[in-house]
Chain A
Amino acid sequence: AQKVTQAQTEISVVEKEDVTLDCVYETRDTTYYLFWYKQPPSGELVFLIRRNSFDEQNEISGRYSWNFQKSTSSFNFTITASQVVDSAVYFCALSGTMEYGNKLVFGAGTILRVKS
């Protein structure tokens, strides 16, 4: 069975601090995909990144970076120099296949509060 664990229920930081959101996954598939989504207070989930299991290169996009380590089954997300607009719920998700647009298994989510 597939499982995603986001152990941090809620994190509070002050603006400009760096923050890392943890994600640990379990799967028996050799090919799988990992995702991060952001849910701002407005409610819609916004896609941030997708990684497949064969691509362990870290990725950086502006203030966002992702660290994928198969050895520890982790896919952590770091926001550098956080801003108030980063306040949201962040979800890590796992899919075993991209057929049928992938069935996603979500973690419980981490609430990030960035204070000015």
Chain B
Amino acid sequence: DVKVTQSSRYLVKRTGEKVFLECVQDMDHENMFWYRQDPGLGLRLIYFSYDVKMKEKGDIPEGYSVSREKKERFSLILESASTNQTSMYLCASTRREQPQHFGDGTRLSIL
């Protein structure tokens, strides 16, 4: 079974802090994704990566950056956290032409 692991289930940070959300997958998948989930809006793609050191902007990249130094790890970075970034963040990974596998999500609160 594919395992996508997000480092924290719940995280509380303060406005202006630099925040790192980590995601690790154990199936040697090329592709990894970061989404945020908000009530009434579904999941929206922030960034994705199709190879090590490669990244592409999704639909809502503003205020975020990503890092993929190793194939199994994809990090989402909030450079200077703001309250409107309070949300549920979901990581996913997949091999080409396969459905995405999701992690359990990180519920991030910015105070």
Contact = CB atoms under 8 A, between A and B. Distances in A.
Interface of A: 4, 6, 9, 35, 37, 42-47, 50, 91, 93, 98-104, 106-109
Contact of A100 (B42, B50, B88, B105): B50
Contacts, number: 68
Interface of B: 9, 29-31, 33, 35, 40-45, 48, 50, 58, 88, 90, 92-105, 107
13 contacts: A35-B99, A42-B104, A43-B104, A43-B105, A44-B102, A45-B102, A46-B102, A98-B97, A99-B96, A99-B97, A100-B50, A101-B95, A104-B45
A81 to B, nearest CB: 26
A100 B95 CA distance: 8
A103 B45 contact: yes
B71 to A, nearest CB: 13
A84 B103 CA distance: 23
Contacts of A50: 99
Nearest to A37: B102
A28 B78 CA distance: 34
Given A43-B88, A44-B105, A107 B29 contact: no
Nearest to B90: A45
Contacts of B99: 35, 47, 50, 102
Nearest to B9: A43
B90 A101 contact: no
Given A104-B45, A106-B44, 5 more contacts: A4-B42, A43-B105, A101-B93, A104-B100, A107-B42
Contacts of A99: 96-97
Nearest to A111: B39
Interface centre among B88, B105, B107 (most CB of A within 10 A): B105
A108 B41 CA distance: 5
A91 B50 contact: no
A101 B42 contact: no
Given A35-B99, A42-B104, A45-B102, A101 B41 contact: no
